Amino acid sequence: MYESILEFSKSTGFVALDLPSILMIAIACVLMYLAIVKGFEPLLLVPIGFGVLLANIPAANLMQYPVVEVAPHSGSVPYGASLLHFLQGDGSTTEYMVHTSEVGGLLGYLFQGDHLGIFPPIIFMGVGAMTDFGPLIANPKSLLLGAAAQFGIFMTFIGAILSGLFTAQEAASIGIIGGADGPTTIFLTSKLAPHILGATAIAAYSYMALVPIIQPPIMKLLTTEKERQIKMEQLRTVSKREKILFPIVVTIVVSLIVPPAAALIGMLMLGNLFRECGVVGRLEDTAKNALINIVTIFLGTTVGATASAERFLTVETLAILALGVVAFGFGTAAGIVLAKIMNKFSKSPINPLIGSAGVSAVPMAARVSQVVGSKTDPTNFLLMHAMGPNVAGVIGSAVAAGILLSLFGGH
């Protein structure tokens, strides 16, 4: 009996608990505190934080990958094994038996949805089903503001390369944080630099949650009180035909220009077509409710689980967090500056505050534009005008990811 108790005590996680694990568990608790108590992106930070917690419990091995043995086939095939046939140069085939000798952990299997690029496009489909592209269609010029906000991605990419700490693939994965789009960050990082997925994802979602804190000082710094008081003309009414054609046309044009972005853009626009066509209400409801909620649980938990102590507690992680906020700041500033320039040449007035909404934190960035504008003039309503650049930013970040993937994905 004594020996059994002794063996059990040796198998507990307390035996292997060390300082790095304790620090990561503390970080997990901080993330969940920010989500639950402070309300920072709770739908994402709660599962991410809990994923960090699960991954850093010693001896649980929830992120362990299965151990697969491959050996020449001879005799019978045991239960659970499979045969592979390899074609030799002389035309003959050789049989190999593939057998899982050690089963992986639960999160290790679920993480394949991130690793294979499945979960982020499904999230995009749900986002598309919830998004009204009417403000962008009514004011196509706002597409330029969404594109300008992606400037931060490429500036930070260059900065990460010049730092000497990161490869081109890692720098691209860090730069995409500036798009303020969590699924896009996960999608690109899983393709180019999966070993830093935890750090980039946590940075992206944290900065998305901090939009109301990060953006207003930049907005006030780059605009005058007179500019913040500019009232824009009411947007025209967009027809149903335009709303139906928009996702189809965008999918064709963007996918032909940047094929690697087709997965994200295609799913985003498919979800939007569900919303606008009016004949697939059940599919629209599933995409924007049950499906996106289920995938968000899997995505958030498995992304958090990649933040193991040996990967997260590094100098590179601190650099990623710092460069991420720089990317976000540059993106916000670029959108504002371009809006100021456009206002100088536009026949109709443009309030530069809507340029900050070009990052794709939908609809939070648009709400921040409204809040900052209303503080200067309570009668100024910028929300719908800001939604144009905001939804354009979703498209822009996906296109930027496609460009980076096409440049560095094959190396």
Residues 58, 25 contacting (CB under 8 angstroms): no
Q: Which residues of the chain have pLDDT under 70?
A: 1-2, 6, 8-10, 73-92, 97-99, 101, 410-411
Place of tokens 């967009």: 238
- What is the spatial distance between Cα 183 and Cα 247, in angstroms, rounded to a whole number? 19
Chain centroid to CA 94: how far? 43
- What is the spatial distance between Cα 180 and Cα 363, in angstroms, rounded to a whole number? 12
Q: What is the pLDDT of residue 83?
A: 65
Place of tokens 């930013």: 393
Please state the φ and ψ torsions of residue 388, each to the nearest 5 degrees.
-60, -60
* H/E stretch holding 238: none
pTM greater than the 0.85 cutoff: yes
Quick one: tokens of 200?
């980039």
Quick one: tokens of 299?
């995505």
Residue-wise pLDDT for 299-342, tens only, equals 999 988 988 888 888 888 888 988 888 888 899 999 999 999 99
Helix (H, G, I), strand (E, B) or coil at 103: coil
Residues 127, 394 contacting (CB under 8 angstroms): yes
Q: What is the pLDDT of residue 309?
A: 86
- What is the spatial distance between Cα 176 and Cα 173, in angstroms, rounded to a whole number? 6
Q: What is the pLDDT of residue 335?
A: 94
Q: What is the pLDDT of residue 411?
A: 47
Residue-wise pLDDT for 42-81, tens only, equals 888 899 999 999 999 988 888 887 777 777 766 666 666 6
Residues 325, 346 contacting (CB under 8 angstroms): no
Spell out a b/e string for 297-319, using b for 16 or more CB atoms within 10 Å of the CB, else e. bbbbbbbbbbbbbebbbeebbeb
Q: What is the pLDDT of residue 382?
A: 93
- What is the spatial distance between Cα 150 and Cα 188, in angstroms, rounded to a whole number? 15
Q: What is the pLDDT of residue 403?
A: 93
**Cα angle 398-403-408, degrees, rounded to a multiple of 5:** 125
- What is the spatial distance between Cα 259 and Cα 319, in angstroms, rounded to a whole number? 31
Chain centroid to CA 172: how far? 13
Q: What is the pLDDT of residue 79?
A: 61
Quick one: tokens of 76?
């019978």
Q: What is the pLDDT of residue 88?
A: 66
